[in-house]
């Protein structure tokens, strides 16, 4: 291969530190040069504007310059675009972390389930490694079936203006158990509640429920910055709600170049094909949502979008049919 790049005259700087983080929806929009809404990338041999070969993402052949940086094919670094997702979806790479966080906070009010005075809470705070600290919190919150602290508010009489000292100030909500099933988080309420209060128990069908990424996002969004810090997440670089995809980054064509089949025909890269499926199903979902379709229809369309987003990141996910090319049935590579 020919890698002849001219040497840069710039002085080489040494990085003083590296900060890893998760891109926020705002950052993805900010680094994007164009919103991609067209699943069709070429029409009559020309790139479609707002499609995956939009010339603002970088030149796709050697004869044209980049519409963003004006450089040619070998000089342009390529530019990211983005898709606004019609509904949030899970990011397969963050599922386990999201599960851990959900296990530590109240499903109703998003507060950490453990009392700050609890010995395990104090032990957790002594752990410097964010990963281990979160693990410790998951462990300590394991047996919390209720968001404690609601009772203290009830103790306060109507006439009294003396604030009652709240131990924790939780909302009192019962907590479900969470697990990952397929591409979703599932919440399950323990059936032992039946012994105490027949009335309060949800119907058997409701005891176990799939959680939409939208629902999980609303719980994660309400976690305070302070609680994020305590759980080992720096809210400046990795808010838990950023681990749910709301805006989807589109990599430049340079990382998914079309393959030349012959001098006249080109075959699109697998990533481009998979991205066009995401765009198409995102638009389908948006249409259903805007026309006020019933919840179960929206849910089905969201599942389809979720499937294509998940297999874009990893087409070898256990138990999932592989995303394949429509025409040949050949599985998509990553």
| Residue range at the interface with Zn ion (CB under 5 A); choices 64-72, 119-127, 128-136, 175-183 | 64-72
* C-alpha closest to that of 147 among 122, 120, 113, 117: 113
Q: How far is the CB of 67 from Zn ion (least distance, A)?
A: 8
Candidate list 28, 73, 92, 106; residue touching Zn ion; CB under 5 A: 106
Q: How far is the CB of 302 from Zn ion (least distance, A)?
A: 26
DSSP state of 209: E
Q: Which residues touch 48 (CB under 8 Å, ≥6 apart)? A: 38, 40, 41, 42, 54
Stated length of the chain: 334
* C-alpha closest to that of 39 among 326, 331, 330: 326
Candidate list 25, 47, 88, 170; residue touching Zn ion; CB under 5 A: 170
By CB under 5 A, is residue 141 in contact with Zn ion?
A: no
Query: In angstroms, how far is CA 109 from the centroid of its own chain?
Result: 21
Interaction residues for Zn ion, span 189-248 (CB under 5 A): none
Q: Which residues of 222-237 are buried (b: 16+ CB within 10 A; e: fewer)?
A: ebeeebbebbbbebee
- Tell me how far apart the alpha carbons of residues 57 and 249 are, in angstroms, rounded to a whole number: 12
By CB under 5 A, is residue 105 in contact with Zn ion?
A: no
| Residue range at the interface with Zn ion (CB under 5 A); choices 32-40, 62-70, 198-206, 223-231 | 62-70
Instruction: Decide whether 64 or 131 has the Cβ nearer to Zn ion.
Output: 64
Q: How far is the CB of 108 from Zn ion (least distance, A)?
A: 5
Q: How far is the CB of 141 from Zn ion (least distance, A)?
A: 12
Q: How far is the CB of 59 from Zn ion (least distance, A)?
A: 7
By CB under 5 A, is residue 254 in contact with Zn ion?
A: no
By CB under 5 A, is residue 147 in contact with Zn ion?
A: yes
By CB under 5 A, is residue 108 in contact with Zn ion?
A: yes
Q: Which residues touch 80 (CB under 8 Å, ≥6 apart)? A: 28, 31, 32, 33, 57, 249, 250, 251, 252
By CB under 5 A, is residue 66 in contact with Zn ion?
A: yes
Identify the H or E element spanning 83. strand 81-90
Candidate list 42, 171, 320, 324; residue touching Zn ion; CB under 5 A: 171
By CB under 5 A, is residue 69 in contact with Zn ion?
A: yes
- Tell me how far apart the alpha carbons of residues 172 and 144 are, in angstroms, rounded to a whole number: 11
Interface ranges with Zn ion (CB under 5 A): 58, 66, 68-69, 76, 106, 108-109, 147, 170-171, 173
């Amino acid at each position: 291969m020919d890698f002849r790049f001219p040497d840069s005259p710039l002085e080489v700087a040494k990085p003083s530190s590296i900060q890893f983080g998760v891109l926020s929806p705002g950052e993805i929009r900010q680094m994007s040069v164009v919103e991609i809404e067209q699943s069709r990338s070429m029409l009559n041999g020309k790139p479609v504007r707002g499609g995956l070969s939009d010339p603002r993402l970088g030149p796709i052949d050697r004869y044209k310059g980049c519409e963003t940086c004006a450089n040619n094919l070998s000089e342009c670094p390529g530019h990211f675009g983005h898709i606004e997702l019609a509904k949030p979806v899970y990011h397969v790479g963050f599922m386990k972390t999201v599960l851990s966080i959900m296990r530590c906070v109240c499903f109703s009010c998003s507060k950490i389930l453990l009392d700050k005075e609890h010995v395990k809470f104090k032990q957790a705070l002594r752990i410097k490694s964010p990963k281990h600290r979160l693990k410790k919190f998951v462990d300590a919150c394991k047996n919390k079936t209720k968001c404690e602290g609601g009772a203290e508010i009830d103790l306060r009489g109507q006439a009294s203006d003396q604030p009652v000292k709240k131990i924790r100030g939780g909302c009192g909500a019962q907590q479900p158990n969470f697990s990952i099933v397929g591409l979703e988080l599932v919440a399950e309420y323990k059936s032992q509640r039946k012994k105490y209060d027949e009335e309060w128990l949800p119907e058997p069908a409701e005891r176990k429920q799939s959680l939409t990424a939208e629902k999980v996002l609303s719980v994660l969004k309400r976690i305070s910055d302070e609680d994020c810090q305590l759980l080992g997440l720096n809210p400046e670089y990795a808010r838990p709600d950023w681990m749910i995809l709301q805006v989807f980054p589109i990599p430049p064509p340079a990382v998914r170049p079309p393959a030349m089949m012959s001098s006249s025909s080109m075959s699109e890269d697998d990533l481009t094909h998979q991205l066009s499926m995401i765009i198409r199903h995102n638009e389908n979902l948006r249409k259903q949502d805007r026309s006020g379709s019933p919840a179960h229809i929206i849910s089905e369309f969201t599942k389809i979008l979720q499937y294509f987003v998940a297999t874009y990141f990893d087409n070898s996910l256990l138990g999932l049919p592989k995303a394949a090319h429509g025409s040949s049935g050949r599985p998509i590579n990553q």
